[in-house]
Structure formats: C-alpha cells, structure tokens
Structure 1
C-alpha cells in the first residue's frame, strides 16, 4: 500500500502547523474530528486522528505504533534528527523499559512527598511577593517563575544558566513539526545552548540527593547505562520545565475565562488537583504527538500503511464531544481523569506527578489569598508546532 493508495481515508486540506492554526486550533480540531476516525493530510504526507477513542487506542498500542522513529512528523529511521533520541519518549521496549522504571521510581508520588512542604512554602513566598498587585501578567509573574525556581533545584543543577531551559524545551517541541520558520529561527541559538545542557546532564554538575544524582546512582547500580543516565537527565531538563510552565498557564487561563470556577475553588480548595487536570484537558499544553505504524494498522474501516506517520491530536481528543459533555467548558464538577493531556500507555508522561504537585502548591497559595481572578486583557499565544503556550496572560486580582 502506498501513500496514494489510501482507500477510504478522507483527505484533510488543513495544515496543522500553520501559524493561524497553532494560534487558534479550534477550527482544525473540529474539522479533524468531523472528517473521520482517520484522515490523510497531503500537505505533510501524514495520517491523523483527533477522536478520543482512536487517539487513546493508538497511544496504548505501542506494538503497532512505535515511538523510536520519533514522536514528531520526521521519521528518525529515514531522516537525521537534531539531537540524540531520548531513551524514554523516543524509544520502545525493551530499550525504553529500564529508563522508564528508574524515572518512575524517582518521580513517583511517594518519592515526591519530601518536596511537598518545601514547594508549598516556595509557592507561599511567591504569592507574598505578588500580594496587593491588582493587575499582573501571569506569564512573567508566575508561570515562568515558579517552575524555574523549584524544579531545577529538585534535579540538582545550579542557578546559572537556567534561563536556557525554556528556549531549549520550546525548540524541542517545535522540532516535532516540520522544519519551518519556528524551527529555523531558533537553530543558531539552540546550538549555543546545547553544550550547557549537555554539561548539566553529567554527574559532576549535579548536587547530591537530587533527581539527577538519583538517576546516576541507578547507573552505578547497573539499572541503566551511563549514556542512558545522561540522556534521562536531559529528558528532565527538556520536558520538565516548559510543559509545567504551560500547564500552570493553562489552569490560570481557564480560571480567567471562567471566573465562576475560581469562586467554586474558593468554596472547596480540595478541588485544586481536579482544576489542574480539567485545565490540561481543556487546553492540552502538549497539543499533539506522532507515532509510526510498524505494519498496516486498521483504524475503523481505514488503514495506516506500514512505515507511515500518524499524527495524534491530543487537543482534539480532549474536546471530543463523543467523550465529553460540553467539552469547551471549564467545569470543576467534571471528572477529568480520562483526559489524555499526559499521553497514555507506556509512554504516558513520567513527570506528570511533578507538574501536578507544582500546580497544587501554587493554586493552594493563590486561592487562600485571592478572592477573585479574572482576565485583565487579551491573552497572547506564543506559536509553537506542538505546545499550547502563552506569551502574555493579563490577570486582574482581588486580594
């Protein structure tokens, strides 16, 4: 079967990576879901799905849809990648398994308990610094501040150079799309940052007791190789900051659009974790991931041919009305536990508990002090090939 021999697969003449689509993806998501359970996107020569059941099933079926060929539209088995693949998200069993086991243990909810009091205290300190300010830009005042304070400390890297983590993570997510203007504009800068990132992954750069040192201890115990250890630390530095930054921005943006839900949270602060997961469902900080079919794989009555890329629209699936009632509404009475914003299956985000703990700390500190939270102006989206991210999020607060 060839790309032109697609049988009943409908064509979708949308560019999922066009700047206007990345800025406001709602029309694309609706068109993708309506077109069918599987569509062909001729502009990029890829297959795509945006329905909840199909996206979830593809994530779970790692035997049919591999990650080692890359989780973007480039096929790592045919095209040169910009850096050495991750042993976690760009790998399949059995190579994937050892690194996953190590990070799952280090980043488990039980292991994170030792950080809880410290992160909650850090969140209180940040909110104290903001107290009395009735108008803020949440991006510059909160979402890009708190994760860069607490997470690199937990990994065990120094303070100098941390400002490089966000552009590096942003570029990594951009490279999951085509080599368009977004990618080309950052390549020279990222080439300068890369040596610093690589240096932070080495044992000598990491403070004792942190996530990074624990990863290297696993290498000493022969659970993983030294190369896997360095790349696992790099995975934390690549995805551990920018996705959390955008996850926290997602929940604050949702509350600014639905201020009645802030009042609901004030009435019942125990809903902070529900609020974060519901915001991840609504906004999907990671909008999409790709897999590669290892053989001809049926999706409904259509087929993804062997060796072809399948674009999984997480954002479209998380708003699929087949799965969610009033999917475009931020609702703290909803059970969002089925959302797939962190992926699903063996490659489900290993750092999701870290993101949840950071968000819980911040929301708990804010909801105790801030009686109302509303939009103070239009939000500004930062265009990225994969992420839903904000350049500006003006908020009006009452203390």
Structure 2
C-alpha cells in the first residue's frame, strides 16, 4: 500500500527502488545493505510503500519500542489491522502485551536456563554420535546430512513429537517465514509444498499426540493451570513447530559455511573446541539466519527525524544491523575472536527469540563436536542457496571433512 509523503519532508527522505524480496537481493543481500545504510537512518522503499531501517542504532530502537512499533498487526508485509491474516496469528510472535506477556511467561519457563542444562547431555550425545558418522563418511552435504538432521532430531524429541513425519517441519517453517514477505513466486512455491502436510502439522499440536511432560505437553499443563485457555494451547505448540527448527537449521548451516570459507578461523576453533560458542555467535552476526522482520507504526509519530503515520509498515534489516560499520569494527570480516555481543540475529527487546538459549546450545554442541574431530573443512562443490523471503538459507553445502 502506498502512502503519500508529507511535502515538507518529501525531499529529505531517501527513496530507494530496491526490492528486498527479489531473487537478486535474497541471493546476496549484503551489497544492498550497504546502500540502505548509507542512504540514511530511515529510508522509503518505493516498491512496497514501506519504511526501512538498516543501521544498528535504528534497528535496535524499533525492535525495543514495542508500544510504538507493534507486532500484533503482523511481523510481515501484511497488515492484520486492514487485511485478514493468512492463518490465525501467533500468540507470541504476532502479539503485543498483555497477550504476549502471558504467552512468553509460559515459554520462558519451559525453555529456562535450568531446563536447557537438563537436556544438554542428550543434545550433546546426539551431536557427538552424528559427527562420528559424518567424519567416517568423509564426503557429506552439511545441510542435508547435518544442519537438517540434528535439529530435526533433538528439538522435536524435547518437544515430545512423534518420530514419523518430522521432515514436514521444514516445509512448514519454510512456508511461515516466506509468508512474512510479499505473495511472490518464492512464497507460492513454499505454500504448494506445504499444503500436503498441513493436516499433519495441525494434528501434532494436539495433546494426545505429544509425549507426556515434553515441551508441548507442558503448554497444556499451563492451560490446565489457567494461564492460557485450552483453545490457545495448540496455537502455542504451533509456535514451537514453526520457530524451533528452521532457524537453527540455517544457523548451523551458515556457521559451518563461514568456517569453511575462513580456514584460518576454523584452525583457531579446531585448536581449541571450547571456542565453539564464540564461533557460533560470530556466525550469527556475520550471516544470521533471520534477515528481516516487520513492525507496524501504532500511531502517528516522529522517528529519526521522519514523520511516520499510523499503520505504516517498517522493515527492520537485522542482518544489515549486524554488519553496520557504525557499530562494528571490520564488520565484513568473520572473526571468532570478536565479541559479537549486541548482534540482532535473535532480535531484541520483549520479542527477542524465546528459544535462543536452546538454539545457541545446539550451535555450540555441533561446532564443538566438529572441531574435536575435524582438522579441515574443504568445500567440494558449489553451495546452493534456498531462497526465502525472511531466512538466509543454504539448500546444499558439499564438503570433505579431513579428520585430525
């Protein structure tokens, strides 16, 4: 939807003819991020009639100001105030307080640091077992054989999902994150692949299909305690299904891709596997899985010297903020010695990723298991991108693992 701009500020606002959902942009977003950041603290994207922020300072400011930049009108291009959502909105991602506060309290308890420590041994065992198998194989596809396999095993186990059909979670997550963009061909293709598994996804959210005391069942226990309604419980389980796998798959894939492209950095990690957490954090900053999210202007306001109007959409470029030279030194360089604290890969503020402790643990355990066994990673074929309107994804990364 186009909005006419106030004539008094018309000439002062950078207006860019960039499509952040084009195949060219999604294939290699980083040169476009430079253009967006250099244009100004806030820019107007002509194609969609939306505001965009790409510098760290403004991205952080929008993400932390939940009163003025709301999530309940959708965190994608669509505005739930003026158009019907394509599915019932998420009770956590597409919600504001007090609904968001109730939902998040439940999920934060289920995914607390104490719980993460309790499941760590199981997650570590799976990482070590899988890595032993891959090192023995030698030639593997990091995405198909590791980045997809590991999160599809450990997280659904903790959630209490059935073993059968878990690959459907990848189709679901792919569709959900594509839906935050426009209804382009990338989205349409994702929906077509998802349609056959729609019923499976919805069925998995029902209590009778969840293992007792798994994360999913604990949501129903919260409903029994009156924290949410029984009707809301399957909706909250659904949040786990969409956000708990795809982002971690891509985070692990992107991390190993970066380490393979920077062999000197991998040498540091292989020499000291305890640096796995730092390496994963830097990979999240350098090439984060979640590239963008939208917010909606709640009421007319001024932001960074620009007049914004109620119901206008604001696109935050999280991955651009993570390479903003106004905030980071040599941001285009992957450096595991860097203190990457403050990156936006998990968002920030009240909507910061509620499962980030588990995602971080998965990434750290995989990189640690890799570093202990593998001296060098050699890319043996052209990495293939899997384009997504929101996620930075690889579809294939063929490598040779050279053991110590």
Q: Is residue 2:299 matched to residue 1:295?
A: yes
Supply the RMSD in Å over aligned alpha carbons.
1.3
- Distance in 1, Cα, partners of 2:368 & 2:161: 27
Give the alignment partner of residue 204 of structure 2, picking from 189, 192, 200.
Answer: 200
State the secondary structure of the residue aligned to 1:337: coil
> Aligned pair 1:12/2:7, yes or no?
no
Which residue number in structure 1 is paired with residue 360 of structure 2? 356
Q: CA deviation at 1:317?
A: 0.6
Please report how far the alpha carbon of residue 181 of structure 1 lies from its aligned counterpart in structure 2 after TM superposition. 0.6
Aligned residues of 1:304 and 1:310 also touching (Cα < 8 A): no
- Give me the whole-angstrom Cα distance separating, in 2, the residues matched to 1:169 and 1:397: 29
Contact 1:127 1:365 in 2 (8 A): yes
Using the TM superposition, give the Cα deviation of residue 185 of structure 1 relative to its aligned residue in structure 2, in angstroms. Answer: 1.9
**Counterpart for residue 171 of structure 1:** 175
Q: Does 1:312 align with 2:316?
A: yes
1: CA distance between counterparts of 2:335 and 2:263? Answer: 11
CA separation in 1, counterparts of 2:195 and 2:231? 21
SS at match of 1:298: strand
- Aligned partner of residue 81 in structure 2, secondary structure: coil
Corresponding residue for 1:50? 54
How many aligned positions are there? 399
Q: Which moved more, 1:21-30 or 1:221-230?
A: 221-230
Residue equivalent to 2:382: 378
For 2:190 and 2:340, the matched residues in 1 are separated by 35
Q: Deviations over 1:293-330 (max 9, x none)?
A: 01123222212222100000001111000011111111
2:31 alignment partner in structure 1? 27
CA distance in 1 between counterparts of 2:113 and 2:290 reads 22
Partner of 2:134: 130
Aligned to 2:152: 148
SS in 1 for 2:232: helix
CA distance in 1, matches of 2:253, 2:247: 10
- Tell whether 2:402 aligns with 1:398: yes
Q: CA deviation at 1:268?
A: 2.4
Q: Secondary structure at the match of 1:227?
A: coil
After the TM superposition, which segments of 4 or more aligned residues of structure 1 sit over 6 Å from their partners?
A: none
Alignment partner of 2:329 out of 319, 325, 329: 325
Normalised to the residue count of structure 2, the TM-score between the two structures is: 0.96
Q: Secondary structure at the match of 2:74?
A: coil
- The 8 Å contact of residues 67 and 292 in structure 1, kept in 2 or not, is answered as yes
Question: 65-74 or 130-139: which moved more?
Answer: 130-139
Residue 319 of structure 1 contacts residue 327 of structure 1 at CA under 8 Å; is this kept in 2? yes
Q: Structure 1: state its 5+ residue gaps.
A: none
Contact 2:25 2:32 in 1 (8 A): yes
Whether 2:111 is the aligned partner of 1:107: answer: yes
C-alpha contact (below 8 Å) 1:74/1:176 kept by paired residues = yes
Alignment of 1:190-229 (within 5 A): 190-229=194-233
Aligned-partner Cα distance in 1 for 2:302–2:345: 24
**2:247 corresponds to which residue?**
243
State the distance in 2 between where 1:376 and 1:319 align: 28
- Is the aligned partner of 1:160 residue 2:161? no
Write out per-residue CA displacement over residues 311-360 of structure 1, whole angstroms, 9 at most, x where no aligned residue.
00001111000011111111111101110100000000001111111112
Q: Post-superposition shift, 1:189?
A: 3.5
Could you tell me the TM-score, scaled by structure 1's length? 0.97
- Alignment CA distance shift 1:262-1:58 (3 Å): same
Deviates further, 285-294 or 192-201: 192-201
Cα deviation for residue 2 of structure 1 reads 4.6
Residue in 2 aligned with 1:337?
341
Tell me how far apart the structure 2 counterparts of residues 388 and 297 of structure 1 sit (CA, whole Å): 32
2:204 and 2:4 mapped to 1: Cα distance?
A: 43
| Offset of residue 191 of structure 1 | 2.8
